[in-house]
Amino acid sequence: MPWQRLLDAPARLPADRPLDDWYGALLDRLGEFTPFELALLGGKLAATPGLAFLAGYQGALRLLWPSAPLSLGALCVTENRSVRPADMQTRLNGLSLDGRKDFVTAGEAADWLLVAAREEAKGEAPRLALTVVRNGDPGVRIETLKPLPLMPDIPHARLHLDGAHCERLAGDGWDAYVKPFRSIEDLHVLTALVAWAHGVGRDCAWPQPLQMRLLGLLAGAAEVARQCATAPTMHLLLAALFAEFKALKPELDAAFASGPAEWAGLWQRDQGVLEIASGPRAKRLEKAIAALGL
């Protein structure tokens, strides 16, 4: 892990450009990278928490699917606020997709889309496949939605599929992709947001103990990134990282509040992204503790 690149102080990438242009500039700046480095260094180079989130999200996608193209992508699972296979209506027939996905991160800018779709025969239990489609191909339509109060610089969209030709990825869509992605995304987004905060702290000369604890949190994240995403130990260690971050939050809030209003406003607006999946994380931790006999 090239930690020196995190400790250097290059200028952040400008935020006033389309997402695909920003991401292309990030890739040019990074050169070769691992998924974790994309989250870590992308978070540091981001001018907003939203762009840091985007870097973490893209890193998570590349750990999930190592053959992913270099361009922006998105994972499309949610239908009617649910990710349960039994609640999904999107269907795969042969290599043709029909259905709708309701929440696609950076959907309009995404070049490729991983789509979870049911493929079981009539009367069988729900079974998912994970497929790939290209934005703009026949039968693939993106409907841009209104910005959310949280990270409004990262738009979201609805995906409509009408006989869209796709590629099916190997393996079970739930066990091999959708289920592990929950933990993979949590880890990479936490890494990116902490790296962003660490960079702000260096610029604003935060107290050294706080900067050191943020650095220690990132070092811990690098070790957790080496774990199998479905292993109980990974869920336990990931929960420990979030517990450490939660313990730091009062100091972080105070540090942001005492500094430039621009940084404080961004932090106040977007910090809630790390709480979005707290419920499922708690359930995974409970199961991990039981599995490990702790």
In this prediction, residue 247 has a pLDDT band, given cuts at 50, 70 and 90, of very high
Q: Where along the chain do the CATH 2.40.110.10 domains lie?
A: 73-168
Q: How many CB atoms lie within 10 A of CB 180?
A: 19
The pLDDT, as a whole number, for residue 253 is 97
Class of domain 73-168: mainly beta
Query: From CA 162, how far away is CA 100, in angstroms rounded?
Result: 9
- Over residues 53-82, the mean pLDDT reads 97
- pLDDT tens track for 118-168: 999 988 999 999 999 999 999 999 999 999 999 999 999 999 999 999 999
- Over residues 62-70, the mean pLDDT reads 96
Full-model pTM: 0.96
Average pLDDT of every residue of the chain: 95
- The residue behind tokens 């936490």 is 190
The pLDDT, as a whole number, for residue 1 is 63
In this prediction, residue 3 has a pLDDT band, given cuts at 50, 70 and 90, of confident
What's the CA angle centered on 262, arms 257 and 267, to 5 degrees?
60
For the chain, the 3-state helix, strand and coil shares in percent, each to the nearest 5, are 50, 15, 30
The pLDDT, as a whole number, for residue 104 is 96
| Percent of the chain surpassing pLDDT 70 | 100
In this prediction, residue 5 has a pLDDT band, given cuts at 50, 70 and 90, of confident
Residue 12 predicted with pLDDT over 70: yes
At position 200, the amino acid (one-letter code) is V
